[in-house]
Amino acid sequence: KNEVEQSPQNLTAQEGEFITINCSYSVGISALHWLQQHPGGGIVSLFMLSSGKKKHGRLIATINIQEKHSSLHITASHPRDSAVYICAVSSNYKLTFGKGTLLTVNP
Amino acid sequence: DVKVTQSSRYLVKRTGEKVFLECVQDMDHENMFWYRQDPGLGLRLIYFSYDVKMKEKGDIPEGYSVSREKKERFSLILESASTNQTSMYLCASSLGYFRGSYGYTFGSGTRLTVV
């Protein structure tokens, strides 16, 4: 069993829809990270969370430490949001990654 | 703007060649990492370094070595490239002494093809 599980693996939405990507983890962590990777591109760090909720523009990330669960929400989705979203947890030096969620937003 | 720069975006090498992948960061970060990313397997840690001349093996170090002679530069070396090392290679850096509670900055990746 992977230490970091993401769902769904693939997600297709229409422009304007509200999107949720989930992440569950089974290990103790220092922080949880949400990362974005566009096709053929490098990785951009969206959020780093150790508790509560963070918001940046149309993106919101929440974490429930007791339940070992995090969600990434995108409000008013846009085709430029199409990318792979990766959840990762950090413990000491090490990042452990989920397999990613491929999001496609159609116009 | 802070940056992690990988020297090549695309690289094609022959089997048996010695390959150097370079990564430079301008953030005075202590920690630097090399990952490879493969479809269905996600990102896996090859090596990391927490200080100059210090290195630790990650999850898949076989067939690779690293060098960190200066704080800002972390090199990944494929001693004798093989086709199963065809992959996307990503460098990352972070602040902190053995602590993962600081943000990570990733490079743009090097897509290596070994033929």
Query: A61 vs chain B: nearest CA distance in angstroms?
Result: 15
Looking up tokens 């090859």 gives: B46
Classify residue A79 by its DSSP letter. G
Longest dimension (CA), chain A: 41
A41 contacts chain B (CB < 8 A): yes
How are the residues of chain B apportioned to helix, strand and coil, as percentages rounded to the nearest 5? Answer: 5, 55, 40
Residue of B nearest to A97 (CA): B43
Answer whether B61's CB lies under 8 Å from B81's CB.
no
B10 contacts chain A (CB < 8 A): no
Measure the CA–CA gap between A40 and A24, rounded to whole angstroms: 26
pLDDT tens sequence for chain B (115 residues): 668 999 889 999 999 999 999 999 998 888 899 999 998 888 999 999 988 989 999 999 999 999 999 999 999 999 999 999 999 999 999 886 554 456 788 999 999 999 9
Contact B99 A30 (CB under 8 A): yes
Measure the CA–CA gap between B48 and A101, rounded to whole angstroms: 26
* % residues pLDDT > 90 (chain B): 72
Contact A42 B90 (CB under 8 A): yes
